[in-house]
Amino acid sequence: MRKYFLVSLFFLFIGNVFAVDIKVFLKNKSIIVGDAGNEALEIKSDYGNLKIPIKAINTIIIGKKSSKDLKKEFAVHIRNLRSSDEKIRSKAEQEILDMGVYILDDLEELQEKDVYLAPILQDIIDQNYANEENASLIGKIQENDTIMTRDMHFTGDITNPTFNLKTPFGNLKIYKKDIFKINILNDADVSVIKRKSVTVPATAIAINGFVDTSIKVKKGDKLTIVATGTINLASLSGGSFTPDGNSSMGNWQNIPFGALCGKIGDHTPFFIGKSLSITATESGPLKLAISESVYNAGNSGSYKVRITFNQAR
């Protein structure tokens, strides 16, 4: 099981003890590659001070809190999408797209509720999933910053506002608020990212069998599964459900009725809901279904499921 710690991260710049290549993705779509002079990340937490060698890190993701006015900006762009001026609408659409996965949850929630803007918002959502860097972060961006190693995730606040980077063009000081994510380019980066979209109909009831996604999972693969949509279960008085399900209506194998669930091979089913990121503990085909114990052909609707997986070579 992955361990999570709430920590406050502090970058300690100590000179070029050894060079570590890093790739910095900025929110303005720029990419900077250079050498990190950071021997380790010094972490201050309730558990004491920790130091994580930068060579042990795979990815650093800057959290939503680094963009304080995120929701306010999103609201302004949504209002401009309703403008009668085509230029204003076009600019707003691009501004929302540039906000990336930081506002993806808000986009998908609004897309389900707003009939007028639904087609435009769906197009922006699809472009987010089609973008390789965005898709790799779906389900991973939290309110706080995240640092990922091969074995653990640490979440908290990076308190230093800048990150120092040596490039062939000189030393750069990059502000945390401008960073989308950082990849550490080391020998541990040995995964292949694959993606797939699957539709799970409301009639795909777990008790009646699972939908095979045709994804062959190996133990150690990292999976991110994101689901959207609404279904109606005739077997439960025609009730409406989202991928998180509704535990007050009952459950199947401790998974709320109406929830999206999955299993790998013939292993124990697990709850997925709207979003889940896991490291596979077994191997086999990934299968999906709706949690319910009674099949009814009158069930309607479906969940749209997007799957991103890092497959070990």
Determine the pLDDT at residue 41. 67
Over 80: is that where the pLDDT of 95 sits?
yes
The pair of structure tokens assigned to 187 is 């020998």
Nearest to 211 by CA among 233, 196, 190: 196
Give the number of other Cβ atoms within 10 Å of residue 151's Cβ. Answer: 10
Range of the domain at 128: 67-135
Q: Residue 44: what are its φ and ψ, rounded to 5°?
A: -105, 125
Q: CA 313, CA 285: separation in Å to the nearest integer?
A: 17
**Region 162-171: what's the mean pLDDT?**
79
Same domain assignment for residues 257 and 306:
yes
Over 70: is that where the pLDDT of 173 sits?
yes
Structural contact between residues 59 and 148, judged by C-beta atoms closer than 8 angstroms: yes
Element (H, E) at 70: helix 70-81
Q: CA 121, CA 125: separation in Å to the nearest integer?
A: 6
Same domain assignment for residues 20 and 46:
yes
Element (H, E) at 74: helix 70-81
Burial of 288 (0-12, 13-18, 19+ CB in 10 A): buried
Percentages (nearest 5) of helix, strand, coil residues in the chain: 25, 45, 30
Same domain assignment for residues 35 and 76:
no
Indicate the residue among 124, 157, 184 that finishes a domain: 184
Structural contact between residues 228 and 243, judged by C-beta atoms closer than 8 angstroms: yes
Q: Residue 71: what are its φ and ψ, rounded to 5°?
A: -65, -35
Same domain assignment for residues 196 and 288:
yes
How many CA atoms lie less than 13 Å away from 170 in the CB half-sphere?
A: 3
Same domain assignment for residues 34 and 113:
no
| Strand-pair partners of 268 | none
pLDDT in tens, 113-157: 888 898 888 888 888 777 666 666 666 677 777 777 777 777 777
Same domain assignment for residues 221 and 108:
no
Lowest mean pLDDT among 156-160, 165-169, 242-246, 253-257: 156-160
Element (H, E) at 94: helix 86-98
As for how many domains the chain has, the answer is 3
